[in-house]
Structure 1
Amino acid sequence: MKFRLTRPVAASVVMAAVLAACGGAEERKAEHLARGLRYFEAQNFDKAKVEFKNVLQIDPKTASPYFYLGQIEEEQKNWRQAFAYYQKAVELDPNQRDAQLKLAKFYLMVKDAAKVAELLGPVAEERPQDLEVRLLKAALSNLQGDEASMLAQLEAIVAEAPARPDPYLVLALYRVQKGQPTEALAVLEAGLKTQPNQPALLAALARLQQQQGQAEAAEKTIAALIAAEPDKLQHRVMLTELYVKERLWDKAEQALRTAIRDFPEDPKPVVLLAQYFVGRGEGKRAVNELTAAIKSSATEKATALRFSLASIHERLGENDRAEGVYRGLIDDGESKPDRLKATTLLAELLAKQGRMDEAQDLVAEVLAENPQDHPALSLQGRLALARKDAQAAIAAFRALLKDQPEAADVLTRLAQAYLLDGKPALAQEQLEKAVAAHPDEFRLHKQLVEFLVGQKNLSLALDKINAFLKAQPKHLDGLNLKADLLLASEQTEALEGLLKQISADFPDKAVGPYRLGQLYQRQKQPAAALAQYEEALARAANDYEPLKAIVSLHLAEKQPDKALARIRKLLKDNPNHPTAYHVLALYHFAQKQEAEAVKALNRAIEISPKWPPPYHTLASYHEGKKELKEAAAVYRRVLAVVPGQVAARMGLARVLEQEKDWKGAIAEYEAVLKQQPNHALAANNLAALLSMDVDDRSRLERALKLAARFENAAEPAFLDTLGWIHYQLGDLTKARPLLEKAVERAPDAPIFQYHLGMVHLKEGDRAKAKERLEKAMVEKGDYPGLDEAKQALASLSE
């Protein structure tokens, strides 16, 4: 979209400003401002930013650079920063009308009618006929509940300025919000009659047609949009997304290939094609497309494609290949920004693999060249948090905040660092700042509330969630969080009232009555609880939890007949109810009727073959009875119909380990990590299996790479895995402290005692070795290395 100055600045005005400057600081300020405006008009925003910031370095109380910086940030969709710049411009110059207008639009988005009216008033007084002002006044009328006034103003604007798309777009949005999509379509079509091929109207019409399931009409509209603006790649992307949604795979691929042809210098269409293939599970094709394009592209485009190739390798779990691409970019990097970017991304990759020391070295390289490199500073802070270095983390995140004072992720991580440093008051201060800067983001309010709960300050936590709900009273997640706090603080009466409110305000949601049922069940009111569970089930007929709760309640009340009758009634009304069959299986298990339970689970699977829970219940049943081949077969059945089901792969790997099929288990863990490279349990278990082969140095080194991420883990099993690998590699200095921590946290785990005992034995401390190995003995059960532990203990006894 062509960027327009809100008020064009004539070259003569700029020149006059330069000539009027009396030399020194004022002259330099005027020169920087003039250059900034030229770059701004040419849409060279990076250079414009530099010039405007140069003005502010000379005189930070100049309003206009803040206004132009705000427009640049808005164009680049950095909304928070744009808002901050506009706010500063108005603060420095209360007569900065264009900035006031911009701020009014932001307040309109958060539905602050009073603030919109305050900002709009003086602008409207000076510019009563300005269309932007009139559109905002119409939107304000709508916000104030005066729909008639809003419609009258918009219709007047349409009559006076039929060539403007804005009023049509606002009218269409209004109709959509009122649940009148047909009328909204008519508004947009009317606008296109007066201004055929207007891009904004075509784009809005295409989106609305898609929402209404009018795929063919949307395809034609997008084709017209592409014809109107053939140089805009985003329209081709919209067409591809339509084809993907409609599962028109050949057309989607062809649309992307056409974009590659029409935008030969732009790497994005090739990247989109590669991402398309990955999304379809064709990773190899994605890699092949990028590789071929890299070979035939000029250096700048090839570099962008190489970054994409590395990212695709990461998504496919091909970390070694991704690392190779990043190292190639570093070695070949003629451009300093590209080289530093590749170095930081490589550090991120190594950190994910637990190679913290290597990652830290790379980050240090980047920051030595550019101390303000934001991605590198962010990673430096996160690495410091991982190794529990509070001071280093604080320094990194505070450095980031100098340029991004309202960045939510930075503020929340700084809070973590202060908490680690034993300064909860400072941690709370950062979370409060994040909430103040982003008042509409529930996740930040939730983080603050959870922090306060952790500090055992339930009263203040309730105050904070109440403040959020005052602004957004119908926010379901916020209401549920408040319910959790009332439950934790044992405010039963208030909790009951809140849950009744949720039930009434969200009549199509089961959560209100379901939680009321739980409350009444805790209060020993089974009849009231049952009524609420039934209401929850009525609202969500196929929901597993309400039905399970009903059956569990009957069983708790020693009424198995009622439980069975309720399930049978549901199955009579709906014979193909998969969740009912699953709950029926649980009922039969509770009654020790295993054959009937298995039959019910198989029926649930037959009805809904892609619903995993009954498979997992059946597999767990077989595992419990040590029927490992049957359990493995069930997990394989899941994977046959839901190939990406990680829980099934993990279950199968666990069963294969019990069968001592190490090769099969390794293959399953490898598959999980290819799909989810950060899956900690899969990485731990794979590393443990690889470390069993003590004669294969390369496998031990791979195991070390996998487990290195667990150096500061809280989970004792992860510490044990890493410590044992260090032992296998002969590094007792690193092995002992890790294994000591594991034993300290889980002293009853015999395998941990065995591992620590072997370290002591190798160190020559026979007394400590014997103490640990005696604790490693088990009469029943087994673990890898038990025989070796017995032999070692026997040798010590001799």
Structure 2
Amino acid sequence: MVKQIFKFHIMLIVSVFFLLSSCGTPDEKKMAFFEKGNSLFEAGDYVRAKLEFKNAVQIDSKFAQAYYMLGKTALKLKDGRKAFGWISNAVKLDPGLIEARLDLGKMFFAGRALPRAAEQADEILKIDPENVEAKLLKASVYLFEKKFESAGKMLENMAAAGIKKVRFYLIRASYFKAVDNNQMAGKVLKEGMEAHPQSLEMAMALARYYGLEGDLKGIETQLKKALEIAPEAIGLKLNLARLYLETQRLSEAKIILNRPNEVYYEIYKIAKDKAKQHKKAAISHYLEAKNIVTMNMIADRKFIIKNGFQFKGDQAKLTLSNSLKNIFLVCSKIINNKKNEKFIK
């Protein structure tokens, strides 16, 4: 009997403990959801993170930071409309939330709502006069509005202050290009590459600069550098192969595209994604690309089926941009060369 009473008391204590643990204050509950959402967001689990942030705002409908994180999660999930709504709400609830204002300003800029983008930058600079990202946003607005004197002055002041962010170098180079000072544009990009040797953005920007200058050696150097940074990037391999092809260096192009079946499969995956984004593009681009694959016998049907992608009748409804069409053309030129028959085996 004593043992039964003792067990009853133990079970009662445990039950009360769990009951008290589950009855935190609303603030504690919302922060628990918010922190779990942050952990999931950092882990890349955006769908589950969104649910946690939603739970947080259900408890506190004025939780600005949670709305902001909902917006960031929506951006990761490529839902721009919801992202804009949630981030706008975050700024409305907390005008001093600088990160949210900055992202909102960037969204306005992307939509070319330049006055509204500038407004967000100005509001941030009222709170934090030295905010680098807000200054870069304002300078970008000046550039698009062709207010080159204002853009130049702002960027020069930032250079004097020792700003060395990747975006600073890219925007400053764009400024010099806009005022037809290509020499300074190149100088700035080279400085940026030196400051950020592992930046893919800098390497590609410098490659584009050399392209405009007609410097093939410079393009090759930067594409190779880009491939060191991102060795599995199919697009980079194809760009370098195209350069070798145009300069009659077919054997080097062959080395770059040493697994053509996989290259084609990756491009078709890209094609499927691009097709959804470019619904009004010409259907003929896809058909022409598909015909090139068929003619060259390179997209082995067994390989395609094994990797989960089959050519079906409705596939003809897909659309492709010109750039993807050109990728197929480059590959076909390489594998069509009779001197390199071993390349397609």
TM-score range, shorter chain: 0.5 to 0.7
Contact 1:64–1:89 (8 Å) recurs in 2:
yes
User: Cα offset for 1:131?
Assistant: 1.4
Matched, 1:84 2:79: no
Structure 1 residue runs of 5 or longer lacking an equivalent are 1-20, 261-266, 296-304, 320-348, 353-798
Give distance in 1, aligned partners of 2:173 and 2:291.
35
User: Partner residue of 2:121?
Assistant: 120
Give distance in 2, aligned partners of 1:169 and 1:142.
12
User: Partner residue of 2:237?
Assistant: 239
Describe the shift of the 1:168–1:50 C-alpha distance in structure 2 as closer, same or farther (beyond 3 A).
Answer: same
User: Partner residue of 2:266?
Assistant: 271
Describe the shift of the 1:269–1:94 C-alpha distance in structure 2 as closer, same or farther (beyond 3 A).
Answer: farther
- Give the residue type in structure 1 aligned to 2:135: R
User: Partner residue of 2:13?
Assistant: none
User: Cα offset for 1:112?
Assistant: 3.8
Matched, 1:153 2:154: yes
Give distance in 1, aligned partners of 2:112 and 2:97.
22
User: Cα offset for 1:44?
Assistant: 2.9
User: Cα offset for 1:188?
Assistant: 0.7
User: Partner residue of 1:29?
Assistant: 30
User: Cα offset for 1:240?
Assistant: 0.6
- Identity, in percent, stands at 25
Give distance in 2, aligned partners of 1:242 and 1:280.
24
Task: Report 1:469-488 matches (<5 A).
Answer: none
Under a length normalisation based on structure 2, what TM-score does the superposition of the two structures give? 0.65
Task: Report 1:377-526 matches (<5 A).
Answer: none
Higher relative contact order (CA 8 A, sep 6+): 2
Contact 2:102–2:134 (8 Å) recurs in 1:
yes
Contact 1:256–1:273 (8 Å) recurs in 2:
no
Describe the shift of the 1:38–1:142 C-alpha distance in structure 2 as closer, same or farther (beyond 3 A).
Answer: same
- Give the residue type in structure 1 aligned to 2:88: Q
User: Cα offset for 1:124?
Assistant: 0.9
User: Partner residue of 1:101?
Assistant: 102
Give distance in 1, aligned partners of 2:74 and 2:215.
35
Structure 2 residue runs of 5 or longer lacking an equivalent are 1-21, 272-285, 318-345
Give distance in 2, aligned partners of 1:287 and 1:158.
51
Give distance in 2, aligned partners of 1:108 and 1:222.
29
User: Cα offset for 1:66?
Assistant: 2.5
Contact 1:70–1:81 (8 Å) recurs in 2:
yes
Aligned pair partner of 2:293 in 282, 291, 298: 282
Give distance in 2, aligned partners of 1:201 and 1:106.
23
User: Partner residue of 2:303?
Assistant: 292
User: Cα offset for 1:35?
Assistant: 0.9
User: Cα offset for 1:68?
Assistant: 1.7
- Give the residue type in structure 2 aligned to 1:148: E
Task: Report 1:132-147 matches (<5 A).
Answer: 132-142=133-143, 146-147=147-148
User: Partner residue of 2:168?
Assistant: 167
Give distance in 2, aligned partners of 1:125 and 1:212.
41
Describe the shift of the 1:254–1:292 C-alpha distance in structure 2 as closer, same or farther (beyond 3 A).
Answer: farther
Contact 1:104–1:115 (8 Å) recurs in 2:
yes
Give distance in 1, aligned partners of 2:180 and 2:75.
30
Contact 2:240–2:256 (8 Å) recurs in 1:
no
Give distance in 1, aligned partners of 2:31 and 2:180.
52
Describe the shift of the 1:188–1:247 C-alpha distance in structure 2 as closer, same or farther (beyond 3 A).
Answer: same
Matched, 1:187 2:198: no
Give distance in 2, aligned partners of 1:250 and 1:229.
22
User: Cα offset for 1:170?
Assistant: 0.1
Give distance in 2, aligned partners of 1:282 and 1:142.
43
Contact 1:253–1:273 (8 Å) recurs in 2:
no
User: Cα offset for 1:134?
Assistant: 2.4
Give distance in 2, aligned partners of 1:259 and 1:161.
46
Describe the shift of the 1:256–1:81 C-alpha distance in structure 2 as closer, same or farther (beyond 3 A).
Answer: farther
Contact 1:66–1:85 (8 Å) recurs in 2:
yes
Task: Report 1:282-361 matches (<5 A).
Answer: 282-283=293-294, 285-288=297-300, 291-292=302-303, 295=306, 305-306=307-308, 308=309, 310=310, 313-314=311-312, 319=313, 349=314
Give distance in 2, aligned partners of 1:203 and 1:28.
46
Describe the shift of the 1:254–1:55 C-alpha distance in structure 2 as closer, same or farther (beyond 3 A).
Answer: farther
Describe the shift of the 1:76–1:168 C-alpha distance in structure 2 as closer, same or farther (beyond 3 A).
Answer: farther
Give distance in 2, aligned partners of 1:256 and 1:52.
44
Give distance in 2, aligned partners of 1:243 and 1:115.
43
Describe the shift of the 1:256–1:87 C-alpha distance in structure 2 as closer, same or farther (beyond 3 A).
Answer: farther
Matched, 1:53 2:54: yes
User: Partner residue of 1:43?
Assistant: 44
Q: Greater CA radius of gyration, 1 or 2?
A: 1
Q: How many residues align?
A: 278
Give distance in 2, aligned partners of 1:84 and 1:269.
39
Task: Report 1:632-781 matches (<5 A).
Answer: none
Contact 1:100–1:119 (8 Å) recurs in 2:
yes
Report the 3-state secondary structure (helix = DSSP H, G, I; strand = E; otherwise coil) of the residue aligned with 2:292. Answer: coil
Give distance in 1, aligned partners of 2:158 and 2:291.
47
Give distance in 2, aligned partners of 1:253 and 1:47.
44
User: Cα offset for 1:38?
Assistant: 0.8
User: Partner residue of 1:16?
Assistant: none
User: Cα offset for 1:145?
Assistant: 5.0
User: Partner residue of 2:227?
Assistant: 226
Describe the shift of the 1:122–1:80 C-alpha distance in structure 2 as closer, same or farther (beyond 3 A).
Answer: same
User: Cα offset for 1:200?
Assistant: 1.9
Under a length normalisation based on structure 1, what TM-score does the superposition of the two structures give? 0.31
